[in-house]
Structure 1
Amino acid sequence: MTGTTPPPLPGDAVRPLQLTDPRRLGVYQVIGRLGQGGMGTVFLGRAPDGSAVAIKMIRPELAQRPEFRARFAREAESARRVRRFTTAAVLDADPYGPQPYLVTEFVEGPTLSRRVSVRGPLRPADLEQLAVSVTTALSAIHAAGIVHRDLTPGNVLLSPVGPKVIDFGLAREFNADTDLSHNVRHAIGTPGYMSPEQILDAPITSAVDIFAWGAVIIFAATGHAPFGTGRIDAILYRIVNEPPRLDGVGGELRNLVEIAMAKDPAARPSAEELRTALIGGGTLPARPEPGSIPSGPPGAGPTGRARRWARRRPSGAAGSAPRSEPPPRGTGSTGSTGGTAANVADMPVTQLSPPPVASPPPIPARTPPPIPARTSPPRGQPGSVPPHPAGTPHPPAPSPSPAPSRLRWSRTALLVAGLAIAITAATVLIIVPRGGGPSPVSAADRASISSRLAADAAAQRARQPDLAGRLSLAAYRIAPTEAARAAVLASFAQSTAARIPAGPAAFSDIALSPDGTTLAGTDDTGSLHLWKVDAAGRPTATTGGSANDHAHGVVFDRSGTRLATGGETDAGRLWDIADPARPRPLSTLDPQATPVHRLALSSSAHLLVTAGEDWSVGLWDVADPARPVSIQLLIGRAGPVTDVALRPDGAVLAIAGAGGPVQLWNVRDPRRPVQTASVPGHTGAVNTVAFSPDGRRLATGGDDRILQVSDVGDPDHPRVLRRLSGHTAPVAAVAFTTDDHLVSADGGGAVAYWDLSAPTPPMTPLGVLDAPARAVAGTGTETVALTTDKGSVLLGTLDPARLRRLACAKPGAALSPAEWSRLVPRLPYTDSCSG
């Protein structure tokens, strides 16, 4: 009924425990999962008295550091003294146990982030209550000597008794000289809510929480982040150099938010001053004149981040005011061809740097380029393609009062540029045939045009994804260059993929048959699911399985008619799936101490490998699938096993672990396995490992956010070939589609494609998912499947020809004749979806 109060939103749903999750921590029973963050996993627990609690278990790699444990112990003890006015009370902590954890009261209710995303901005009265409650919480936290460091809408819970701040009292930072601090620092803070000093590596004080308070209030009042959306580097640049967007924040609250978000931490009020001002009418005490944001210890030069994010001064203009050249606002998703491709706009980038200062135009060589300069529509015309390089903003307007020397230089540059254009135009006129019309275009010219259109597509993808899709199809139609292939993947790989939603239980593991025609998955109840995949890549469920399957991991053999699953109380089962509608268990492996969560299978060598949740790896002879024989049990030497992979011929086994390099084992004779070498390169845990179809390359991904490709043709002497950066979260999944093509995914949800045949493989973003946890591919089929942390499955293709067919099935996918004549003047019009 109109005008009634909507029902309260429930809190975040509790998800089932995963196989690797603990069932008990100290005296607390672990019931389910509440969420996961940069510091660890949050569980719903039950205290001895039966009350509900939230338990945050610290990540193993952090727990390995004594200095982290010591600081965690100090801050946890301080957190227990925080007054409980508007915070989730810290009840207990175990900083020195095998699995350090922190226990807080369980607060029932949604996060501020969820509340705003579902119902929109808060009403003025609710907004004022939120502002007072959060400042009260910060006052109590700061009084205990703690800095929150990650105050975001996701860390504010809207309980029945009012807003409460959570997730404080954790040692998010410590000795910056340690490599662990270097690796973890980038995960500290949510980009849109970090303060300038966090970005610039300046000293951290309680003022960072005041800045974040202002950002949270802006989000609650408007539904939008204070510095917009888009690429992470663009957001961080705006935080350091631009004011927040205050539209939608009114009255006295607007003035307080503006002061709280001063770039200089010394200019911000304390939490108690803010609270007093909110209650007493918006007046803050006078403060001393602030200085500038320090970039490091006294006497030190600017840090790397300070040099990276501070606005640059023009060369030769010492002492002059910095020139503002911010990235364009609004680079977030604005819609998508086919649905979700616009998520590509939010992909993290390899280099986090501000836009470059415009340089004078170069003097071209006498020989003209093969493609004449194209004319662009007037600035601001819909569908126009900016002529600047992909990914960079338009140059800023010139200063209204340039220095005389700069004015003279600008005039000279313009004269040179004009002369160059005139020479180029004259030369182009010379090559036009006497009969008129464009000259014949060579294959090299077509490849150049194709690559240029692909670059234009990349430049447009964030702002005009539909136009980017049309440009990508045109580039691939003109010439299927690698740049055109990457453009088609970036525009359509995610939007054309089929999503299989999680059922009553989340999918925990997946596998593809080598020919890509059968998809298998297991869920958290232990059921085995099978789907047939048609020529268009659409999956059709053939069986949903049951809890009696006891399946907790899955892998196909080479034929695609048999598979193996891991077990919870036994090592697993072998199955005949010649008829996917009626999977038939062939045998059950022997019991073992811990559940099996990862498997590898080589049917040519009749060898099955099972990895338990501890440090053990089992080797099984499956020559007779009705009678599998346990032949060896290996004990890993790099901590708990995270993944295993067998070379296709079954002669080499790769074992990834949480605490060291990937081990290579010679298992040609599995009764006498020998560790031959370790693959160097990663720092910290390695989460995923995969062999190429020819067995000569090994891809690995780890918590250090590096995707590494090694030459293991000689497994006794592995050699690192590539260390690919670009992921901004731990690499969680990797799979080869061909010997030269690789797909990877990270814990932040970013999925990427890599062409290893390129001298410097570029990272092609494919989209953003719900924290992909597993990636598999058919052998040489370009069919890829991923399962996510939320338990759904995504099935798609990296074949650009198939993507082109899928994209062209929708009206308006190709450039119109008018667009073609404007954007591709050298070539006669061709329908990008024809042929």
Structure 2
Amino acid sequence: MFRPLQAGEPTRLGDYRVVGGLGEGGQGVVYLGEHPSGERVAIKVLHARLAGRSEARERFLREVDAAMRVAAFCTARVLDVAVDGDRPFIVSEFVDGPSLEDSVREHGPRSGGALDRVAVSTATALAAIHRAGIVHRDFKPSNVLLGPDGPRVIDFGIARAIDMTATGGSVGTPAYMAPEVIRGEPARPASDVFSWAVTVGFAATGRPSFGRDTFPAVLYRILNAHPDLDGVPEPLRALLARCLAKAPQDRPSAAEVLHLLLGQDHSVTTPIKGTTSPGPGWTPEAGTPPVLPAARRRRSRLLVVGSAASAAVLVSVIVVALRTGAPMTTSPSVPVTSPAAGGATAGGATAGGATAGAGLPKSAAAPRPYGRRTARVALGGEVNSLAVSSYQGRRVVLAGSTAGVARAWRLDAGPSQVAELRAGGGAEAGAAVDVGEVDGRAAAFRRLQGGGVVVSGVGDAAPLGPAYAGHGAMVYAIAAAQVAGRTVLVSGDQAGKIHVWDPKTGKDSGPQPRAAGGDPVFGVATGTMDGHPFAVTASADDTAQVWDLEDGSRRATFRGHTGDVFAVAATALDGAPVAVSGGSDRVVRVWDLRSGHELASFAGHTAEIAALAVGRVKGRAVVASGAFDGTVRVWDLRDGRQLGEPLRTPGGRVYSVAVAEDGGESWLAAGDVGGDVTVWSLGPASP
């Protein structure tokens, strides 16, 4: 499935361990990677060189940040983007399957239902990409992966990002380029539709529609000749011919293509006067492509069903068409039927009596508005720790309290879904419990009065190893990190000491941070910077400090606060590593992890800030701050704007916060002094 790494290739990129090579192309090298959680990802390290140009980095990261907003149906979702030195890399979902190009070359062209599924799934993906305001610019068979759950489109938005940083040359594959792109005009959504049609034609015939011999010959045919669609069945052939029109304004939009695939009487073979394609001035920044006017929305019959598609594909297509704006109507008199589903109709009842909408993915449902409270759970004590992890196969909130209680529940669930978590601790069964992850699995850290720490997997009272006894004072903060390929814990105590240790052996691991001690360490966050692991700590001496976890040295000190620093978080902004800190001066401060220089500050809380968490809301990097004023505020890290109104907890002072994306929504959890955890929806995860 993947090749071993070769000498000189990276073994880590950001927070991801590089497992092996998946392939190499004109854009860069693709590696199989692994997140600390254990999730496998695809990491594309691009050939484009940013050469230290800050404006190029900004444009590159902005372009790929836009790609992260594309709906996940039929695409491999972009998960992360960063720059390692002058090497930009993009992290996306790993799709375990061959490309459409490799599959056709090995097994031959598609026909019947297999061809229909490729056409519908890729058109659905393209409509979603355009709906997010993005032009793919490199749509081709090698960018369609055939995963176990169906075709997925990859690399959307990456071609433009590369163009923003490369020194010259056009991005794209000649056999799949639209005529206007060959002429040097900007790529537009209609250009993607042209490339989509060549791709589907390749799937049906095993050859590109304008040949694949010499570069000049292919370009000449694209500009001047009719496409070779021999072997493509009707009515798909007629639709591809429309999409391969030389003039972009004569092509249907991706949303219209999807509608036509779902059936529109005889409109596939009858040209529609006018156009729904964007005009020459359309750009991704200017808006999204329009959909069919209401006057042209006709009741439709699915062309690709019959024996050609399963009920599961039908449901996915309907859901995505609705989410991406593709018009589609049905009525009892013109049913959408699938013999494979036993004659079930999309507008009526299935054979089992359920409607076609039953059982749809949670992400297909209408998202909750910003600030809608979804759960409130009582733990007792003070909720000093929150984390997001996986438990029993589900995405959950983990919460730990000073009463020695830890619980987990689904992000979208109410209190009835609360599960008690057991954590070892011996005689001090009531000792405070923090929560987090070890080796990608949910874990509980019981902090003993004498400074010891016992680590357990949640749901299992058996410790992972002996208690850690390196601290001589009460531990205040714990965070997990990856050092030399192993999971370690970084902890800070009441006496100002910082230790790095192995949770499985209970022993120190590697060089220890050379902290002078004295003032308590209230917070710890971890990450990687320039490929090296670090920890950033919050201290009662009014500073936050950055520690190299490989050699124990102090790399930077931030002195911008005018009082105790209680909380820290670490993330990347525009490819640069940054930290966020807050404390008794009531200000959230963002600073450069390399230099310790302050980049921005956000004010609004009326009491001490005790908790911070970073994440994304609608594709934007945000930080959530919880304070003793009983509120949680969410800030856009890029421009400092506060999202929505402050959210208020029922118990008063906020001690812990967490931000997560799951099921198509962004979520915020906050733990307070009264022992309650409150969860709110922050709205759709992507616009």
**TM-score > 0.5 by shorter chain:** no
More helix by share: 1
Normalized against structure 1, the TM-score is what? 0.34
Which structure has the larger Rg over C-alpha atoms? 1
**Greater length-normalized contact order (CA 8 Å, ≥ 6 residues apart):** 2
More strand by share: 2
